[in-house]
Amino acid sequence: MSAPLTRTALRTVSTAPRRVSARMMSLATRAAPRVSPSTAVPRVAMQVRGMKTLDFAGTPEKVYEREDWPLEKLQDYFKDETFALLGYGSQGHGQGLNLRDNGLNVIVGVRKDGESWRQAEADGWVPGKNLFSIEEAATKGTILMNLLSDAAQTSTWPHLKEYVTPGKTLYFSHGFSIVYKDQTHVVPPENVDVILCAPKGSGRTVRTLFKEGRGINSSVAVFQDVTGRALEKAVAIGIAVGSGYIYETTFQKEVFSDLYGERGCLMGGIQGMFKAQYDVLRAHGHSPSEAFNETCEEALESLYPLIAQNGMDYMYKACSTTARRGALDWAPEFEAACKPVFERLYQSVKDGSETRRALEFGSRKTYREDYDRETDAIADQEMWRVGHVVRGLRPNRK
């Protein structure tokens, strides 16, 4: 039997570089003076639009777009601010590099000589210049971006809160610590703005879409508005960290929907449904390659992109009449089967059960090793070992 395909091993698989068109390169010359030529990011021209109220299937909602905050305006708005990025995980990496490429004054605060410190140095952050300990960065910063893990936010808050002084802004990318304060004990002082911008994707995606000139969608919320401009500040930061468009929410709604979605359709539900379908095919004598192609590869490479581009109805219409008929007939069956699970999941998020589980696990000294053990077990499932081979057959991988 072959050796397990761990996450570390899978990171070595490279993808083909994207080409940047001459038109995109010409647009990049619009970069403002504070962005050096070596770090300027190509920007894609978009229709100029502003903040507006849109009709979402009968419900009006405010939407903010990148064109509300051109680069020159962002740089002027934040000219007297220092972004202190506390933590350099997935979101810290993506948001920090985007802020830096946008020519804003940003520093990173992490534990000296730890893994995050080494990653930050590899990304060009310089000790003593824009890379500091968490305490020193929190002292120097005016906008404290608390992007530590949820468990780390809980354990560091008793010490970190002394740096959240009047005139500063406390920023999050998740409502977790504030909403579940009974468990996290994160209660900010009453004399500072407390805001969030939550990109709807991993920090790596935040970075990739920014470099492509596209931008991720994000939500913003205000927990505390002392200055009277907390929402404006949250939206501006949202654009500065790489958002393409932004919608408003609350801290509570953000964390409820986020925890619920991660465990459901975004990650947990997908893995569970893929695994169930694959195992049934294998049990009925289908080969590994056929089971994977009919379960995962066709979904990810063919059908899901159609949904992303044009909607579910378009994807249905793009398939054969036989496929369409079966999908229409069985969708209600899956909805009926899944809805009780989703109701139970939402209640688990709402009553704090998911928070307790996450904090308990994330507080273990061995949490990294424990997570790696579980995710490596997924990588070693036959379905994903087959997937590693199938992905290698894609023409773009060659």
Q: End of a domain among 191, 218, 249? A: 249
Q: End of a domain among 180, 214, 249? A: 249
CATH of residue 202's domain is 3.40.50.720
Q: Quick check: is 20 in a domain?
A: no
Q: Quick check: is 101 in a domain?
A: yes
Q: Quick check: is 25 in a domain?
A: no
- Residues 176, 131: one domain? yes
- Residues 337, 387: one domain? yes
- Residues 202, 270: one domain? no
- 27-31, 78-82, 191-195, 365-369: the lowest-pLDDT one: 27-31
Q: Quick check: is 126 in a domain?
A: yes
Compute CA distances 117 → 109, 126, 130, 296, whole Å.
8, 10, 12, 37
**Residue with tokens 């998020």, as numbered in its chain:** 349
- Residues 324, 233: one domain? no
- 288 pLDDT higher than 90: yes
Q: Quick check: is 89 in a domain?
A: yes
- 3-7, 48-52, 209-213, 367-371: the lowest-pLDDT one: 3-7
- Residues 175, 323: one domain? no
Domain that holds residue 169: 61-249
Mean residue pLDDT of the chain comes to 88
Q: End of a domain among 216, 249, 282? A: 249
Q: Quick check: is 12 in a domain?
A: no
- Residues 281, 218: one domain? no
Percent of the chain with pLDDT over 70: 87
- Residues 284, 208: one domain? no
- Residues 240, 277: one domain? no
Domain count, the chain: 2
* Amino acid in position 299: A
174 is catalytic: yes
pLDDT tens digits for range 201-233: 999 999 999 999 999 999 999 999 999 999 999
- Residues 308, 369: one domain? yes
pTM of the shown model: 0.82
Q: Quick check: is 49 in a domain?
A: no
177 near 164, Cβ under 8 Å?
Answer: no
- Residue list for the binding site for Mg(2+): 258, 262, 294, 298
- Cβ density class 241-256: b for 16+ within 10 Å, e for less: bbbbbbbbbebeebbb
Beta-bridge mates of residue 60: 55
- Residues 167, 299: one domain? no
- Residues 245, 271: one domain? no
146 near 198, Cβ under 8 Å?
Answer: no
214: Cβ contacts below 8 Å, ≥ 6 apart? 44, 244
Position 146 scores a pLDDT of 97
Q: Which two tokens stand for residue 62?
A: 């405010």
The residue annotated as part of the active site, out of 174, 185, 284, 388, is 174
- Residues 226, 86: one domain? yes
Q: Quick check: is 337 in a domain?
A: yes
